[in-house]
């Protein structure tokens, strides 16, 4: 099986602080990580490879040059080959423009690899943008069936069987290949890289794909100008005022006090 | 594409029994305001199988028109059939704006549709207004796990699309149904649906975990200490008619399944009341629940960050406070 895993390098949002004076995000010194959901997608691909060692895993990212670090980490964890889509022209793309560029990149990677991917795995969403849109938008451009909110994937003769989260329980869904799957957090932790793989990843060549290679890209559909949505403004959400602290003698008294306050406020 | 009308559409998602999910009806509230400002009709769009209940509900909650597609192939949600149906409707009627509930299905379908229509979509909005300067919808949404809000415009493409978080807007009051009801003939071939549900694994003993639609959530975290420790949490939830949530720490420890998880790698929720028990309030957890109307925190550690977002904080032992609260509720409510 040939699997393409799309990953994004994101700031570790657990490290993000708000500057109390300017009321803006402080991103300086915030470490970059592989988007956790993309890590789950990579793990799902690795689990297919565990069962079928002939599986080849290629990782693709789009971003500035420093996103190579995320790709090297993916190589150290499980990937066999990595590509980075990087070009100033692509900067400022919204989700639709991003999916359009990735669509062209998928075709290029398939040409360079000489294969057609049976499946494209993505994270459900990135933890910086939180949109969960690029995966399905890419699936549409490829005209592939999609399954979102996947937990696990197993290969099944021309199809994948996907365990996915639903609103009222989990589902097992069969989807024909080629397909695109977006992954959420499974019940298990993704694997760590081995020392040996880490050393190999450090030396690996990461192919860069720019507008010079991706010649089919229409510049009017890429980057800030090619994006149908524009950010008008950003702001830090107003902080809540300090709440009421209840600290009675006993837990029981505190509970009674809370009940009274909630009743008065018509919350319960 | 060009909009043929100034109409604003609300996609009303249906359940398998043909009734409407809450969020579709909720969105008729802000939909009414936006439609009036845009100078067009408010149109509810219903797709499903045996959808009379949903059509009627939309009609008596302020819609000027209800467009519906009814067919066996739409009984269960599938990306392929639903996107084809909506694409057909949009191409036929040409709305200028469409609101979609940001449910799992809405967020599966929305981007697929925006890509097919080659238009802009804003995800998981919590604020809707009309931008004075352009007359476009100003979509406001959280990013960076709720640390930053962004207001997005889609100025040159139509329809402008957005998914809107459930529970943000209140259902409008029901009134007299005055909507024009239009059945649209559209069918989708079964072989065009490229996914097949092989098995549905319901939660244990019929316990549904609808965190996103819940009015009240009682959540447990590391302080709960064990799977058994969730018992008082469940009892409080039962007394309140609430859904049980959990922090990542409790899920990772294996005390409760991931379907209960609230936070960055779990569900984002916006109930009227959120009771956090033994949850310290890591930023990933706060990202998933800080939009709740009222937050109660019960924690031993007075310095826990959860108290920073709580409207009511009890510094104390949850194993004393929670059962006492349950008893109090049972006593007062009879």
Question: Which residue from B minimizes the CA distance to A243?
Answer: B311
Q: For residue A33, what pLDDT is reported?
A: 95
Question: Which residue from A minimizes the CA distance to B272?
Answer: A267
Is-contact B77 B180, C-beta < 8 A? no
Contact between A133 and B259 using a beta-carbon 8 Å cutoff: no
Q: For residue B232, what pLDDT is reported?
A: 97
Question: Which residue from B minimizes the CA distance to A130?
Answer: B143
pTM for this predicted structure: 0.88
Q: For residue A98, what pLDDT is reported?
A: 98
Considering only the beta carbons, identify the residue of A133, A230, A267 that sits closest to B273: A267
Chain A residues whose beta carbon lies within 8 Å of the beta carbon of residue B83: 140
| Residue B267 token pair | 């569900």
Size of interface A-B (CB pairs under 8 A): 265
Residue A124, classified by CB atoms within 10 Å of its CB into exposed (0-12), middle (13-18) or buried (19+), is buried
Q: For residue B181, what pLDDT is reported?
A: 98
Q: pLDDT tens digits, chain B, 334 residues: what are they?
A: 778 999 999 999 999 889 999 999 999 999 999 999 999 999 999 999 999 999 999 999 999 999 999 999 999 999 999 999 999 999 999 999 999 999 999 999 999 999 999 999 999 999 999 999 999 999 999 888 777 899 999 999 999 999 999 878 888 999 999 899 999 999 999 999 999 999 998 765 445 678 888 899 999 999 999 999 999 999 999 999 999 999 999 998 999 988 899 988 888 888 999 999 999 998 889 888 988 889 999 999 999 999 989 999 999 999 999 999 999 999 987 6
Q: How many CB atoms lie within 10 A of CB A157?
A: 7
* B203 to chain A, closest Cα gap in Å: 5
Polymer length in residues for chain A = 268
pLDDT tens readout for residues A160-178: 999 999 877 889 999 999 9
Q: Is B111 within 8 Å of chain A by CB?
A: yes
Q: Is A245 within 8 Å of chain B by CB?
A: yes
Q: Which A residues in the span 181-220 are in contact with B, Cβ-Cβ below 8 Å?
A: 184-187
Q: For residue A12, what pLDDT is reported?
A: 87
Chain B residues whose beta carbon lies within 8 Å of the beta carbon of residue A161: 198
Question: Which residue from A minimizes the CA distance to B201?
Answer: A170
Q: Is B180 within 8 Å of chain A by CB?
A: no
Contact between B198 and A173 using a beta-carbon 8 Å cutoff: yes
CA atoms within a 13 Å half-sphere pointing along the CA-CB vector of A234: 13
Question: Which residue from B minimizes the CA distance to A245?
Answer: B313
Q: For residue B205, what pLDDT is reported?
A: 42
Q: For residue A243, what pLDDT is reported?
A: 87
Sole residue written with tokens 């300086």: A28
Chain B residues whose beta carbon lies within 8 Å of the beta carbon of residue A179: 194
Q: Which of A57, A74, A54 is nearest to A8 (CA)?
A: A74
Q: Is A29 within 8 Å of chain B by CB?
A: no
Give the strands of the sheet with B216-220, arranged side by side.
A244-246, B312-315, B294-299, B273-277, B216-220, B243-246
Q: For residue A238, what pLDDT is reported?
A: 74
Is-contact B277 B322, C-beta < 8 A? yes
Please identify every stretch of chain A with a pLDDT value under 50, giving residue numbers as ranges.
none
* A183 to chain B, closest Cα gap in Å: 11
């Amino acid at each position: 099986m040939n699997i393409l895993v799309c990953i994004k390098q994101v700031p570790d949002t657990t490290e993000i602080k708000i500057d109390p004076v300017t009321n803006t995000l402080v991103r300086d010194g915030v470490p970059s990580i592989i988007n956790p959901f993309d890590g789950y997608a990579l793990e799902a691909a690795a689990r297919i490879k565990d069962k079928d060692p002939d599986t080849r895993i290629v990782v693709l990212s789009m971003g500035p040059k420093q996103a190579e670090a995320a790709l090297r980490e993916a190589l150290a964890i499980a990937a066999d080959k990595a590509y980075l889509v990087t070009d100033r022209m692509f900067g400022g793309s919204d989700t639709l423009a991003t999916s359009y560029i990735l669509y062209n990149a998928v075709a290029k990677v398939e040409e360079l690899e000489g294969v057609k991917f049976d499946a494209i795995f993505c994270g459900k969403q990135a933890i910086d943008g939180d949109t969960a849109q690029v995966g399905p938008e890419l699936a549409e451009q490829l005209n592939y069936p999609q399954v979102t909110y996947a937990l696990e994937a197993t290969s099944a003769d021309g199809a994948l069987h996907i365990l996915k989260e639903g609103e009222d329980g989990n589902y097992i869904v069969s989807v024909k290949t080629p397909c695109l799957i977006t992954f959420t957090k499974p019940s298990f932790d993704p694997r760590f890289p081995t020392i040996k793989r880490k050393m190999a990843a450090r030396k690996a060549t990461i192919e860069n794909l720019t507008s010079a290679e991706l010649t089919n890209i229409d510049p009017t559909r890429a980057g800030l100008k090619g994006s149908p949505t524009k950010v008008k403004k950003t702001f830090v959400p107003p902080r809540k005022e300090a709440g009421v602290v209840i600290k009675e003698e006993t837990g029981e008294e505190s509970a009674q006090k809370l009940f009274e306050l909630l009743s008065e406020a018509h919350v319960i | 594409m060009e909009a043929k009308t100034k109409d604003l559409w609300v996609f009303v998602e249906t359940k398998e029994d043909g009734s409407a999910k809450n969020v579709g009806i909720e969105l008729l509230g802000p939909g009414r305001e936006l439609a009036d400002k845009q100078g067009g009709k408010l149109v509810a769009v219903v797709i499903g199988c045996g959808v009379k209940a949903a059509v009627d509900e939309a009609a008596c909650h302020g819609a000027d028109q209800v467009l519906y597609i009814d067919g066996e192939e739409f009984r269960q949600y599938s990306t392929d059939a639903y996107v084809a149906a909506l694409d057909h409707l949009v191409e036929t009627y040409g709305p200028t704006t469409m609101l979609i509930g940001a449910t799992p299905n809405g967020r599966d379908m929305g981007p697929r549709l925006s890509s097919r229509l080659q238009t802009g979509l804003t995800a998981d909005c919590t604020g809707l207004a009309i931008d004075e300067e352009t007359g476009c919808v100003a979509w406001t949404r959280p990013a960076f796990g709720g640390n930053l809000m962004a207001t997005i415009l889609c100025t040159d493409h139509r329809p402008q699309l957005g998914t809107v978080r459930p529970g943000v807007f209140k259902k409008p009051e029901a009134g007299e149904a005055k909507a024009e009801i239009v059945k649209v003939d559209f069918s989708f071939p079964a072989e065009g649906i490229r996914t097949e549900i092989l098995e549905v694994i319901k939660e244990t003993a019929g316990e549904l975990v609808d965190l996103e639609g819940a009015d009240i959530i009682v959540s447990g975290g590391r302080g709960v200490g064990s799977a058994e420790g969730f018992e008082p949490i469940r009892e409080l939830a039962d007394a309140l008619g609430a859904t049980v949530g959990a922090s990542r720490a409790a899920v990772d420890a294996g005390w409760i399944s991931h379907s209960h998880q609230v936070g960055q790698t779990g569900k984002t929720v916006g109930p009227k009341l959120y009771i956090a028990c033994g949850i310290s309030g890591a930023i990933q957890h706060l990202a998933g629940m800080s939009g709740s109307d009222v937050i109660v925190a019960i924690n031993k550690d007075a310095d826990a960050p959860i108290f920073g977002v709580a409207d009511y904080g009890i510094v104390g032992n949850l194993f004393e406070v929670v059962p006492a609260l349950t008893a109090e509720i049972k006593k007062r409510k009879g």
